[in-house]
Structure 1
């Protein structure tokens, strides 16, 4: 009979647990059986039963070859215990292993962010990654002292948030303190800390004076036991301030810090702390600083402007500066002048001062009270000229179209044609032209000279020369350098010579012209004679542009009015003017007067007349033997109040450049204070922008200062040849009618010899004196950041809108401010009221 028995079933060995994956518990064990199965159970630690009544209970049965399993669906940060045993159908079950515990992975809170910061609180938000936390603890530590780099205090539990809560507001903080904070999610069995984030609470501005210093990202404030500061601010000067504070050595470390002065929570000044001083006391010191625009008074750069409205150039410049946020208000445009005569001449003296031809290179002159071009082409009839030669009517070089049918014939060595030209102006070396009309079948050796200077040669035996014009002053035949004998003027000799002649060689020379190449193109010289065997040109008098002297004044020129008396206005005659230094000319032809409107910008006017050839002759040249002339000239202008920068250069610190540009443009720059390190610069005409101010008026004074007012003014210029001295007298009749005549102190400008310049000067200076009658006022207020340069409605001036020129705080006990008002100088309005007379008078100065 068979004997049966059951082998022993080994017990399971202790498992190893893992929590590397959220919500899971991994179980691993050694392999102890080769038959049967393993039963693995799990429950939350602390439960009394190992069945479904126990929280977190679960079991798994796996075959004998399996040595690991995973329980999912676990709670985050919860403590679980696991046991297992072996089992078989025949041997029953082995012993349970001792329960082994592990806490599941606990992700806690992540991504903490401080979303709002105030003076004494902050709001912290985070992401809740766990599903069964008991809550969140918020830990915080505080900067020990904002004035010094002393680090932070200890970590303190500051607040506790409920489960699933993802934000909290932390209160009870100190203003202007650095804080570090983190979140700790927790359960009974686990906790997880977030990363640390930091912030700085805002500065608190109490109802008193407060100085705030900022440097390197750090901030310190002083408000207790400080006096009222002294502050001075105006558009054309850098603001300055000083402040008494208790003695403290640590303040020295904050020099060159950005400074912000507050009064009752309002920003009164933005600037910089520059130095401190003692006033003989061990308990008090004075801090000194400047306004924010002082930051522009450092370093240096260069700005150029040409034919651009001043305000646009200022805007371009400010846009190029770092940390500057510019606002430039375009100025209003108003008519200043209509038909202001700046040049007027009808005799020799006045026309000579208007048309300056003294340098001699312009072929024009003022003679006997007439402006006329000078001859610029000088003809030599070769056949009838001096020298040694014969004449020929033979057709050489393919043609025999000679003037009068004959040409000079150079057939022997030494034959030559000589001529002389008498110049009334100077031809620059580069503009000297010598045109020769000649021909040859077999060419003799030739040499061409101007004033003794050989300008070109032809070697003997060269190929034939076709009958045409050739400019030998360019070295056309020899490929030489041409004429290099310097500028030509006065009597000039001309020679064409045959230097070597072989058998059958000769040169037929028909006509020679010495000319100024600035006014002719040899390609335009006529090639054929007319029915009378004469050449129509080149004209002795070409079209010549004759400019006037330039006249500068202060305002943008919009229209030029030109009137002349001309001998004729046909052909090349034209009138022109420029307001941008000659870059752009506006012209009109066919009339002795013209109204020329400018699209360009400019403050300098210059006129120009083009006088062309006229007159005929029966001999060569038959055209252009005379020139158009003018016997009078008047140039008047219309202007508006837009300032224009013409060929200007500004070199200096940004502040210096800005002030110069504002002065040139009739504008001002002021700073708008802001609570950061940027610089807001506002540029405008004085009072062009109106602001409202809600100030507490403490006291005021009203004043109309007439001490510098005048409505009549004289200016004396240079002494003239007859012993008289030029005088310009300006008056504003409307001002005289309203206030009575009041004459200002006369101006003496002996360096000015141009009457229009003297006119302009006296008009400008009188307009400034008229503006001195504007009302002014001083108003004491509770300190505020009221910006100068703007217009405000001033109650003590019957509600008039006047310009605030200066603000001051200078009361160390009560903190009173002072506003000084005054109307801006509206020079354009005043100009329209002024009538100017210019007359020659005996020297009365």
Structure 2
């Protein structure tokens, strides 16, 4: 006779419940779940002690052919010696509850994390993972928009940079970020008639023949850390007998910085680095770094000659790169620059911004006064290194990783769009100005783990991991490369497979016994407004997002507004659209079928002819009530791409 046959194997011994002995079998198959199965039979003492036995269930058809339809393990045997015995257990998934792990995943595609966990921890299993097929969700989704100083300060907050704003040469003022001078150069001739030479800046220099050499210097507008103070002198041409040369800096009055003696003869101009002595001078002193410089000579017969002096911030200038050849006889030096050099720019890093979808490409655009100069735009995807592009105010970058987080940056330095000036330095005498920023991205629906720590048994960890990325698993053998990858229970050993529910459609090969269909749109919405945090004038950013395809199908259905603490349009847009996805995705068709006994695997899409829809099977339960049957529970799958493929956005700022 046809029916369910149960076979229990423990330590080489086998016990069987035949089809005519099995009563009320219940064999559920669910996604990513340790389902509990059960069967009753007349009490049998020989089944006691078969806990932990390997359980196999066969459907025996009318031709006495056995079909493996279930595998698991016996957990409990109980019953009345004068009545019925119940044998129950869990399917193979329950074995994952044995053993556990602690693992931390960051910026990794969900399917890759699943594969890693299976390969690392589920070594008793042969596990296969089907890669999702990502579809485009967004093109040019605006994440950061900073057209004003108020917005810039939110996107590039100075207090959150990896430097102390008070000790860094950048200021937000008059609606722009602008650079302070990082080099102060003086070639003052003073009142003396100094020596001349075509190798000197401007053709002349100063010497100590009649009076001290004095250079009139300004002050830095920020606090240079002592260890980064740089100071250098471009010496002229002089003989070997200069005696003692004293360099003094103005700290109220001139104070000695250092004394040099036995200076070697100078036959051509040369730069001398005196940074260490100047750092010692300023160490422990209050007040702004800078001020006039005086050079005096004591003894010697050869006057000391100085052509130029420079204070500089060593973080942004390299002494070895100072020019020592004037551009023409009696001309000027190209550098040291007075603003950060291209090799050592000031880098402003934007706050991280995240989406709910995987970022594949980023576009940045900055408003600067020298769009084609030595400006560097950059983007970092997740934890990946920064990608940069120079000499442009607009750039696009492709992601080499899977992440929902992106970070932009801009490197600011000298302006290169200005003509050379008739002075030293000829270039680098003005800095970039930064007064606007946009960051937008393309995304797809590949699910990404941004930061997830798992601590628990393998069943808990593996289930949480799949839930996090919208995937599911079955304790089954599945050949994903075949035309019709029908799962099967492994005859022996342990096999499993992970995939995205509904990604694969299987043939609907069953004989229907009964049906039920339901549609639930209780919390559905396809239009949603979002309101941001009030600004200082009580104005809120307001955004409205509409799903045109959904509206065409169901009419306009507004949802409850999102009230957010977002201060930028981009932040509010992302938050509102994420909530709208949750609301729009509740438009679900569900249904159930009762079919003749057959293993129908959940997680796959089937064309349900009686409903005329393709639905994803959620659960399948083999049972034996008034007749042997399989109960199927379906649900309509909803993708991010299908919802946001027709997004339309309205934005305005309003007073509330």
Instruction: Note whether the superposition's TM-score is higher than 0.5.
Output: yes
The answer to whether residue 89 in structure 2 is matched with residue 289 in structure 1 is yes
Instruction: State the 1:741 CA deviation.
Output: 1.6
- Residue 368 of structure 1 corresponds to 174
Q: What's the CA shift for 1:583?
A: 1.1
Q: By how many angstroms is 1:294 displaced?
A: 2.7
Deviation at 1:693, TM superposition (A): 4.7
| Residue in structure 1 matched with residue 560 of structure 2 by the alignment | 745
Please give the alpha-carbon distance, in whole angstroms, between the structure 2 residues aligned to 1:233 and 1:489: 76
Q: Secondary structure at the match of 1:423?
A: coil
Measured at CA, do residues 370 and 260 of structure 1 come closer, stay the same or move farther in structure 2, by a change above 3 Å? same
Distance 2:513 2:502 in 1: 24
Q: Per the alignment, do residues 267 and 462 of structure 1 end up closer, same or farther by CA in structure 2, a change over 3 Å counting?
A: farther
Cα distance change of structure 1 residues 213 and 548 upon mapping to structure 2, 3 Å threshold: same
2:205 paired residue among 392, 406, 416: 406
Question: What is the rounded CA distance, in whole Å, between the counterparts of 2:93 and 2:429 in structure 1?
Answer: 68
Question: Could you list the per-position Cα deviations for residues 683-723 of structure 1 after superposition, in whole angstroms to 9, with x for gaps in the alignment?
Answer: 22221112225334321101122223221223444343333
Question: Is the 8 Å Cα contact of residues 460 and 501 (structure 1) preserved in structure 2?
Answer: no
Higher deviation after alignment, 358-367 or 441-450: 441-450
Match of 1:669 in 2: 473
CA drift of 1:282 comes to 6.0
User: Is residue 571 from structure 1 mapped to residue 385 from structure 2 by the alignment?
Assistant: no
The within-5 A match list for 1:351-750 is: 351-358=152-159, 359=161, 360=165, 363-379=169-185, 393=195, 401=200, 405-407=204-206, 409=208, 421-424=219-222, 427=224, 431-438=228-235, 441=240, 444=244, 461=261, 464=264, 468-473=270-275, 491-493=288-290, 510-530=307-327, 531-532=329-330, 534-542=332-340, 543=342, 544=345, 545-581=347-383, 583-587=385-389, 589-590=391-392, 592-598=393-399, 600-614=401-415, 615=418, 616-646=420-450, 650-672=454-476, 674-676=489-491, 678-750=493-565
- 1:267 to 1:719, Cα distance in 2 relative to 1, 3 A: farther
CA deviations over 1:254-299 (Å, ceiling 9, x no partner): 3333333333333333233334556x88644444422322323343
Q: Distance in 2 between matches of 1:520 and 1:833?
A: 51
Which residue does the alignment assign to 1:228?
A: 24
How far does residue 574 in structure 1 lie from its aligned partner after superposition? 4.3
* 1:315 match: secondary structure: helix
Aligned twin of 1:764: 578
Partner in structure 2 of residue 209 of structure 1: 4
Q: Distance between the aligned counterparts of 2:169 and 2:90, measured in 1?
A: 61
Classify the secondary structure of the residue corresponding to 1:350. helix
Q: 1:680 to 1:512 in 2, by over 3 A?
A: farther
SS of match in other structure, 1:349: helix
Instruction: Tell me the distance in 2 between the aligned counterparts of 1:688 and 1:596.
Output: 30
Q: Using a 3 Å threshold, how does the CA distance of structure 1 residues 840 and 570 change in structure 2: closer, same or farther? A: closer
Q: Report matched runs for 1:65-214 at 5 Å.
A: 207-214=2-9
Q: 2:598 aligns with which of 772, 781, 784?
A: 784
Match of 2:24, SS?
Answer: coil
Paired with 1:471 and 1:647, the residues of 2 have a C-alpha distance of: 48
Could you tell me how far 1:525 is from its partner in structure 2? 0.9
| CA offset digits 1:301-350 (Å, max 9, x no partner) | 35555655432343333233312222222222322112222222322222
What is the Cα-based RMSD across aligned positions, in Å? 4.2
Per-residue deviation at 1:634?
Answer: 2.8
Query: For the structure 1 residues 626 and 809, does the alpha-carbon distance in structure 2 shift closer, same or farther, using more than 3 Å as the test?
Result: same
Alignment of 1:827 with 2:648, yes or no, is: no
Q: Please give the TM-score of this superposition, normalised by the length of structure 2.
A: 0.80
Equivalent residues of 1:712, 1:741 under 8 A apart: yes
Larger mean Cα displacement after TM superposition, 501-510 or 687-696: 501-510
Counterpart-to-counterpart distance in 1, 2:208 and 2:628: 106
Distance 2:606 2:646 in 1: 27
Tell me if the contact between 1:372 and 1:629 (Cα under 8 Å) persists in the aligned partners. Answer: yes
Question: Whole-Å Cα distance in 2 between the matches of residues 813 and 692 of structure 1?
Answer: 27
More strand by share: 1
CA contact (8 A) 1:719 1:725 kept: yes
Deviation at 1:493, TM superposition (A): 4.7
Q: In 2, Cα distance between the equivalents of 1:256 and 1:379? A: 85
Q: CA deviation at 1:572?
A: 0.9
For the structure 1 residues 533 and 327, does the alpha-carbon distance in structure 2 shift closer, same or farther, using more than 3 Å as the test? same
Larger mean Cα displacement after TM superposition, 294-303 or 702-711? 294-303
Deviation at 1:400, TM superposition (A): 8.1
Per-residue deviation, 1:465: 7.8
Is 2:116 the counterpart of 1:316? Answer: yes
SS, match of residue 698 in structure 1: strand
- Name the CA shift for 1:348/1:652 in 2 (closer, same or farther; >3 Å): same
**Mapped partners of 1:411, 1:548: distance in 2:** 55
CA displacement at 1:249 relative to structure 2: 6.0
Work out the CA distance in 2 between the residues paired with 1:213 and 1:417: 98
Distance 2:643 2:540 in 1: 27
TM-superposed CA distance for 1:791, in Å, is 0.9
Hey, what's the Cα distance between the residues in 1 that align with 2:303 and 2:14? 101
Give yes or no for contact 1:405–1:533 (8 Å, CA) kept in 2.
no
- What are the superposed Cα offsets for residues 782-827 of structure 1, whole Å, 9 maximum, x if unpaired? 44332211111223212x3211012234656645432111121211
Give the drift of 1:779. Answer: 0.9
Distance 2:248 2:116 in 1: 59
Distance in structure 2 (CA, Å) of the matches to 1:582 and 1:506: 58
Between the aligned partners of 1:660 and 1:430, the Cα distance in structure 2 is 51
The equivalent residue for 1:154 is: none
- Structure 1 stretches of 5 or more lacking a match? 1-205
How many residues are paired up? 617
Q: Distance in 1 between matches of 2:123 and 2:224?
A: 53
Q: 1:450 to 1:757 in 2, by over 3 A?
A: farther
Asked which structure has the greater RCO (Cα within 8 Å, sep 6+), the reply is 2
In structure 2, distance between residues paired with 1:451 and 1:272:
86
Q: Does 1:241 align with 2:55?
A: no
Q: Determine the structure 1 residue equivalent to 2:53.
A: 257
